[in-house]
């Protein structure tokens, strides 16, 4: 019989034990924890919109107009005008026929991928795909294949082999535009070309790209003008958008099928309409001159730390205890930077995951760079 105490002791010995450490303040560019003020480099609030006055005011306005909760699932009586307006806005900005929102990005993946592919079909995933994408693919019952991270040669060979053996099967390629733990980009143009050449569908997770990349801030597909060539554009409203929830943008027929078949949509209470109301305002802000200015400030901050294509910057230590010690050292110096370990990343690749925001003062970013440099060079530590 499983004894939880034994498992917890093993996790602690391996440097994998986790616990909840609440903040004593809102999660802005700086936070308070245990009575100390820390620069927050752990948040995914890349544009600082979770604390933007206009977004907060719109959220409060939504509560006043539509109530604090939705009270039912979307198919019962939980659908209100803000949900529909948000989905119309997402579809317009992602250049698709329709969109559908969920309670989280995880729920989006779990609800949609098993509808797209089943037991007679195939799903091909990038090895570093997010856990939600992996779990959803397993849940589908489809045959799974994995290609090494961003290895287009292997992806091409898998597509050719599967299509030759199963000419009528659905083949779904699943990847991320910005990878959540490495912060690098997928070779999206090549992936789109390969999926089209083999009659496959592409499921692109833009969770860490929406708000950050693109002329309109709608992600890597927006930046490369590929939105109309991608079957499924998934993302979240909980990172750069500054709120909570997930979405998928696709054709009208696929969205209608998700409404009828996506279990995480059908059997969940609808997200609060006030969240949807504020999310629409956030998307409009992102696709505005102010949004463009925030992205420019964000990438200026990124360059203070490293020449990097996204706000997610890893510093890999390898060992769990070494990484935990590095995070503790940074916290003692006034910086909140999370230690990321297995199973979030592969064994032996434990890392500090730095998340940059447009709301960080440049001085805080340069101070963090010096503190990280001191970790890598113990002789320079004070």
What positions carry a catalytic annotation?
A: 44, 130, 176, 180, 205, 208, 239
3-state secondary structure of 120: coil
CA-angle at 210, arms to 204 and 215, nearest 5°: 110
Query: For the range 289-293, what are the long-range contacts, defined as Cβ-Cβ under 8 Å and sequence gap of 24 or more?
Result: 291/47, 291/211, 291/217, 292/217
Is the distance from CB of 287 to CB of 92 less than 8 angstroms? Answer: no
How far is it, in rounded angstroms, from Cα 133 to Cα 99? Answer: 18
Is the distance from CB of 124 to CB of 173 less than 8 angstroms? Answer: yes
How far is it, in rounded angstroms, from Cα 310 to Cα 210? Answer: 11
Nearest-Å Rg of the Cα atoms of the chain is 21
How far is it, in rounded angstroms, from Cα 40 to Cα 38? Answer: 6
Q: Could you tell me which residues come within 8 angstroms of residue 184 by beta carbon, excluding any fewer than 6 positions away?
A: 150, 178, 309, 310
Distances (CA, A) of 109 to 25, 44, 102, 181: 31, 19, 9, 18
Distances (CA, A) of 6 to 25, 50, 344: 34, 40, 22
């Amino acid at each position: 019989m499983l004894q939880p105490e034994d498992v917890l002791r093993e996790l602690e010995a391996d440097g994998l034990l986790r616990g909840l450490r609440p903040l004593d303040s809102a999660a802005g560019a700086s936070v308070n924890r245990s009575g100390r003020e820390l620069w927050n480099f752990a948040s995914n609030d890349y544009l600082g919109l979770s604390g933007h006055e206009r977004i907060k005011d719109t959220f409060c306005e939504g509560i006043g107009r539509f109530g604090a909760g939705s009270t039912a699932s979307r198919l019962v009586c939980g659908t209100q005008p803000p949900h529909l307006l948000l989905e119309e806005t997402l579809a317009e900005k992602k250049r698709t026929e329709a969109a559908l929102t969920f309670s989280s990005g995880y729920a989006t993946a779990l609800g949609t991928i098993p509808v797209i592919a089943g037991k007679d079909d195939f799903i091909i995933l990038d090895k570093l795909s997010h856990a939600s994408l992996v779990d959803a693919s397993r849940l589908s019952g489809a045959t799974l294949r994995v290609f090494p991270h961003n290895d287009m040669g292997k992806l091409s060979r898998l597509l050719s082999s599967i299509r030759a053996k199963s000419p009528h099967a659905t083949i779904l390629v699943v990847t991320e535009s910005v990878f959540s733990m490495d912060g690098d980009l997928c070779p999206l143009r090549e992936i789109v070309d390969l999926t089209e050449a083999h009659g496959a569908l592409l499921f692109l997770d833009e969770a860490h790209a929406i708000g950050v990349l693109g002329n309109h801030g709608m992600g890597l597909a927006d930046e490369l003008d590929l939105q109309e060539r991608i079957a499924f554009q998934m993302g979240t409203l909980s990172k750069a958008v500054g709120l909570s929830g997930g979405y998928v943008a696709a054709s009208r027929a696929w969205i209608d099928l998700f409404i009828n078949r996506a279990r995480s949509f059908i059997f969940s209470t609808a997200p609060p309409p006030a969240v949807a109301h504020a999310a629409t305002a956030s998307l409009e802000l992102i696709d505005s001159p102010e949004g463009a200015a925030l992205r420019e400030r964000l990438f200026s901050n990124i360059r203070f730390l490293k020449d990097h294509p996204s706000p997610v910057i890893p510093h890999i230590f390898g060992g769990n205890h070494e990484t935990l010690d590095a995070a503790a050292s940074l916290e003692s110096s006034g910086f909140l930077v999370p230690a990321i370990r297995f199973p979030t990343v592969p064994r032996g690749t434990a890392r500090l995951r730095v998340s940059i925001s447009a709301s960080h003062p440049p001085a805080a970013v340069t101070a963090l760079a010096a503190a990280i440099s001191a970790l890598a060079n113990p002789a320079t530590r004070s």
